[in-house]
A and B are shown apart, each in its own frame.
Chain A
Amino acid sequence: MNKKLNYKIYRSDENMERSTKRILAIVLVIAVAGAGLGIGLWFVFAPQESIFETPGVSGVSDDRLIKIGLLGGITEIQGEGNYEGAWLAAYNINQAGGVQVNGTTYYIGLVAEDTDESNPVLDVTKGVSAAEKIIEVDGAEYIIGGFRTEALKAYVEVVMDAKKLFLGTGASTDYFCGNVYGEAYSSYTRYKYWFRTMPINSSALGGSQITIMAYLGGYLSAVLAKPVTKVAILREALDWTIPMANALNTYLPYYGFTIVADIQYPITATATDFATYWNQIEGLDAQITIPVISAQGGLYMMSQYAALQPQCLIVGIDVQSQLDTFWTDTSGDCKYETIMQSVHRTNKSDLTIAFWDDFVATFDHEPLYTAVGAYDSVNLIADGINATGSFKAQRLITWLESFTRSSPMIGKSVTASHIAWNPSHDLEVGWPFGTTLYCQWQADGSKHVITSGNLLYPDSIVTGPISLPPWGIND
């Protein structure tokens, strides 16, 4: 009897436990479903807070914004530079009272998305996704940025699909401008939204390099009282270096040079590899070495140069070396390296020095070329909207296209006193249009603009003499 009762109690306990569990489970299911539905609805209907940053002003409503999207590898130097340049320009414009369009004041709003394009292990989906997000979700109307050709090739299509103006500030390849005009498979209607504001194109870079070589060959021969004709090329094995190498190999012999070595190294090369390259170059008695480097190799190249002291001068492209931190990064090993740089603290245009000082005061470091390009680009967009009184991409395109070699935009850019675009929407080059400067790391731990013998730019903007390594130059 007692046993039976116990059993019954036990049973009802179990039943209660079961029903409690059941209720809990139902509550759980309803809660999860409700939460899911809620999030979904919020996602669709919630009034989105503006994600645009308005440097220099606050409390601007979304419909008073000129929405500029910045695309790049945000965590890497090029993307960071792109953001900083745009930020500074936006700050200056907004502080000065914004942009007046038909009596209404608009302010610059910035949004950035990470394309992760500087990642050595490139996943192009990141760039495509970032471009789709910046246009479709963030609502950017104008795009500034782009650096790595492979990644940009994918997401430039997204921007062109959306018919948004895209000002390129990082890629030097001719490909993107070739899309607009002049090359196979070019299509003006589709790609007219692309303009380059930085850097000057890679073939022009080749021309500049040949010019400086012609000048330096003569200069060094005179100073050292011996013929300086032996040249080595040291470049990373990427496609963008091919036109440059072809140009050097073809044209340098016309100026009396002999190419003693053309070394291509994998972008994964290490310090040990660079020791080998320098020994090889020294073994061939090279007098000038031309680096063509955009990635991480520059640091190894310079540390090994300082260690092995090959008797040659380095004059060429080394993007890493454009950073002011390169001196400390190499512990001064970069001394005597001469590199191409778009802008330095010199009167390239009347605005350059003011911009430079402003930038250094704001960010506590020197601007990378993408920063200069983005600064110009934001100003161009603001000027264009101001001048045309319209936000439409097509009006801005027409406006930008109106600046040609014969009727340039003067005194607006920090990169050159004259700005104009050719039919493929590429920057016109050659002083006073886009030019590259040659800057040398010197003993005081900073870079100085050296003379090009008035060939690339006037000597009036030179900031220091050429300094030669004390260990001499090969015979």
Chain B
Amino acid sequence: MGVILEVKNLTKKYGGLTAVNDFSFEIKRGEFIGLIGPNGAGKTTVFNLISGFQRPNSGTIRFDGKDITGMAPYKIVNLGVARTFQLVRSFKLLTLLDNISVSCLSSRGKKVAKGHGVDEYASTILASVGLVDKARIPPIILPHGDLRKLQIGKALGTNPQLLLLDEPFSGLSHEEQDVITDLIIKLHDDGVTVFMTGHVLRELMHLVPRVIAMHQGKFIMDGTPQEVAKNKIVLEAYLGKGEVFA
């Protein structure tokens, strides 16, 4: 299994504040991996840097051996790195089918959709995230759980190799979390490398075999959830929140 994502010495500063500080890690193809840290640790910034929505001050990001540091977001997507957002984003006035179609119309999505036709391909994806019966309605009237599914569907439309999921469980009930969890596991089984964040450890504990922990923009450790949970710095970082194993 080769390395799919290699992040080296990544640093991002906002004025005097260092959001991400000399951060390095590797992800292997087919891995299922989490990025944890308390609120404000810099997880979203890391995702923004990888997906190209922000440029790092220094450091390199290599995807599949190719340097993608500072590349335009849509180019990175078309190389095979798709992402979702912590706050759900959708095309409010388009139908769910069209929401997915947009991704299928990206240059990477098109290659897959070619044989089937965009609508058909988009329906398949919509079915896989469990929204096919709502294909003709716009997202403004969807419940939050469905919006999270739509997010993943939109990412899938671009046929990603690496999927970055930013807080995919945020704001969901336990039942909804379970549905999304099943969906993510299925995606991973299908061969997508999944990299997800979460600020509540419990969500990730039973899901991912490997976790990267960060705090105040810095890399703390890399290991199994059990190892991470025992780590002193991680515990300190979460201390007082009472959320570690809650």
A–B interface present (Cβ within 8 A): no
